[in-house]
Structure 1
Amino acid sequence: MPSLEFLLTSAVVVVTPGAGVLFTVSTGLSQGRLASAYASLGCTLGILPHMAATALGLAAVMHAGALAFQLLKLAGVLYLLFLAWMTWRDRSAFAAAPGTPPQSPLRLVAKAVLVNALNPKLTLFFFAFLPQFMDPADPAPLRQFAVLGAVFMLMTLAVFVAYGALADAFRQRVLASRRTQDALRRGFSAAFALMAAKLALSGR
């Protein structure tokens, strides 16, 4: 059973805005609550590769291997810059009509998965974070790791869905003003670019 300390620490980590939150909120504003739920699911699934890498000990290899880390980081930076460019040039991004159903759910999920999957810092984060809350005397450490990871992912999904719902609540105001739409489009584009710069300049 996860400790209260683990739950509180995880909550702080999950609530802190990052690229996943940014993608979910922008999706909620542009396409509504259901679309933001797909984005939330994708961002949560994007955690799985990092959990698997940590469980298999690949995080240690990545930490030791500068080339592997830098290549994955470069892919993450380029993907965030791609999102920034696409958001900047898509003038219809925040102009959908009320009630418009989300377009291409699978594509939304796939894009969201990449947002988290291409961030190498997550692997190192889980490698350093989860073991702190594991009982070294537990005869089944992998099961314990899986439980903690699953709880963390469920918290991520719940918080991201809440972020998306809040974004959807403000959607009508966005749809009512072209000026607001343009400001949001430029703002989210700049935010994705800043996330890319932050990742590019981050150390190991």
Structure 2
Amino acid sequence: MLGLDTFLLFLTASFILCLAPGPDNIFVLTQSMLRGSASGILVTLGLSTGLLVHTSAVALGVAVIFQQSLLAFTVLKLCGAAYLLYLAWGAFRAGAGGLGASKAISLNKLALYRRGIVMNITNPKVSIFFLAFLPQFTNPAKGHLTLQLLQLGAVFIICTLVVFGLISLLAGKLGNWFSQSPQAEIVMNRVAGSVFAALAIKLALTER
């Protein structure tokens, strides 16, 4: 069981980390602007599900594989980079009127949710980050370490849902305002495509 002081310290650190610009919140931002707040929230739910996988991997010791095996780390990160490039290609292809079209022919709920999961679990750095971050807040005297790691992961996921949910709402409103202008639609799609491509390159070049 986590102590109150540990819980508050971890909660504060988690909120700060969720607010810091990173691949996941940038991904939520772009999806919300392109497809609306509801889509961003669905992607957020997918990302959070991915965090469940990473938390379980750390708690069960599986995450060590990505820390120790260069092959496993490389394969997973290249899959993630390829997926991001696919999203970039789709954004660039949208062209004029892309935002309106993407909202009219929006992805179904399952596809958006799945997009968040794939984006998160194909980034091995998340598992390695959790492997380094979560154990710092555990204490063998407070009970079973696996249970403590799962509790910490749950707290981090709740912080993610709150912060990314707010990002989705704000970015969705901003996207609605931009969608009134065809010129802005083109710019937003180009920016989104560039962001996805940059994230793909960053992930592909990431080292353990």
- TM (normalized to structure 1)? 0.92
What does residue range 172-191 of structure 1 map to in structure 2 within 5 Å?
172-191=176-195
User: How many Å separate the matches in 2 of 1:171 and 1:73?
Assistant: 30
Amino acid at match of 2:61: G
SS of the aligned residue for 2:21 comes to coil
Amino acid at match of 1:184: M
1:94 to 78, 95, 99: 99
State the shift of 1:182 in Å.
0.7
Aligned to 1:159: 163
- Contact 1:94–1:174 (CA under 8 A) maintained in structure 2: no
Q: How many residues of Structure 1 are paired with residues of Structure 2 in the alignment?
A: 203
Larger helix percent? 2
State the shift of 1:130 in Å.
0.3
2:144 to 133, 140, 145: 140
User: How many Å separate the matches in 1 of 2:76 and 2:182?
Assistant: 38
**Which ranges of structure 1 fall in alignment gaps of 5 or more residues?**
none
1:73 to 73, 77, 89: 77
Aligned to 2:12: 8
* Alpha-carbon spacing, 1:87–1:97, altered in 2? closer, same or farther (3 Å): closer
State the shift of 1:192 in Å.
0.8
Please give the per-residue CA displacement for 1:81-124, whole angstroms capped at 9, x wherever unaligned: 111111111234422598x6954001100011111110000000
State the shift of 1:169 in Å.
1.7
Q: Identity rate of aligned residues, in percent?
A: 35
* Alpha-carbon spacing, 1:93–1:115, altered in 2? closer, same or farther (3 Å): farther
Amino acid at match of 1:106: L
SS of the aligned residue for 1:94 comes to helix
- Contact 2:34–2:189 (CA under 8 A) maintained in structure 1: no
1:83 correspondence with 2:71: no
1:33 to 33, 37, 41: 37
Decide which moves more: 105-114 or 31-40.
Answer: 31-40
* Alpha-carbon spacing, 1:101–1:67, altered in 2? closer, same or farther (3 Å): closer
Aligned to 1:59: 63
2:46 to 25, 42, 49: 42
User: How many Å separate the matches in 2 of 1:12 and 1:23?
Assistant: 18
State the shift of 1:180 in Å.
0.8
- Contact 1:27–1:35 (CA under 8 A) maintained in structure 2: yes
**Which ranges of structure 2 fall in alignment gaps of 5 or more residues?**
none
Aligned to 1:168: 172
User: How many Å separate the matches in 1 of 2:107 and 2:71?
Assistant: 37
Aligned to 2:123: 119
- TM (normalized to structure 2)? 0.90
User: How many Å separate the matches in 2 of 1:97 and 1:68?
Assistant: 35
2:132 to 128, 131, 134: 128
